[in-house]
Structure 1
């Protein structure tokens, strides 16, 4: 996976939320099914690598990137071929669930230890 989308758009020391959150969505939205799957460690692995390659402050994405109770809206990143999924699947699989915030808090806490 190429993590330069973060390092090229989301730069400190200010970390503009519009740029950082758009980088997160551009990178992760195509993989919402995998990231939201609680049977794998995709979300925690992704955020570990984002932190490793970007050296971002703890909680940056979880505190700045919020769009509602269901997480980030990834509907703009759904390809036309994905529209063949059922309506209920499209509603649930194309948003980041609050799991991402929990994963970030966990990872950032682990990095501080």
Structure 2
């Protein structure tokens, strides 16, 4: 009985640690324009995180026209989107399309600006490895700033807990 609880506890702690792990990149597919072509054949799940209350000034204050500077625009996009990379890279959801519809609503950007401008490698835009991921139900305003300290503390606590569990075996 005690052994089963120990295994379950270890599994829960490891799952919590992995939940805070960042995807590491924003995929090129997530940056593409999202049309409404064959939507009946490609039904997507609703996005589990909300972009409605997000702080879009992270992007709109730095990425300004008419000469949209790639360094500023792509850096701002990464600062805003990396905390959501797990969700916007999931092509089975509406997350990327929803996020870009809000970005374009608030920033009034030309179509394809980010897809045509922001390139870093084969996978897409690289996110810092220590970027905490927004979790479903969390408020999205200023995600990159609002969750950095609590997520870092939670990850540190989880790492300590895993270390203690491993040492006790």
* TM interval, short-chain normalised: 0.5 to 0.7
Q: How many residues align?
A: 83
The structure richer in helix per residue is 1
- Within-5 A mapping of 1:25-64: 25-64=78-117
Alignment match, 1:10: 63
Q: Tell me how far apart the structure 2 counterparts of residues 6 and 42 of structure 1 sit (CA, whole Å).
A: 17
- How far did 1:78 drift? 2.1
Q: Tell me how far apart the structure 2 counterparts of residues 65 and 48 of structure 1 sit (CA, whole Å).
A: 17
**Of the two structures, which has the highest relative contact order with CA contacts closer than 8 Å and spacing of 6 or more?**
2
Q: List runs of 5+ in structure 1 lacking aligned partners.
A: 85-113
Structure 1 runs of 4+ with >4 Å offset: none
Cα deviation code 1:27-84 (max 9, x no counterpart) = 00011111111232110000001111100011110111000110000025524539x7
Q: Tell me how far apart the structure 1 counterparts of residues 130 and 75 of structure 2 sit (CA, whole Å).
A: 11
TM-score (norm 2): 0.46
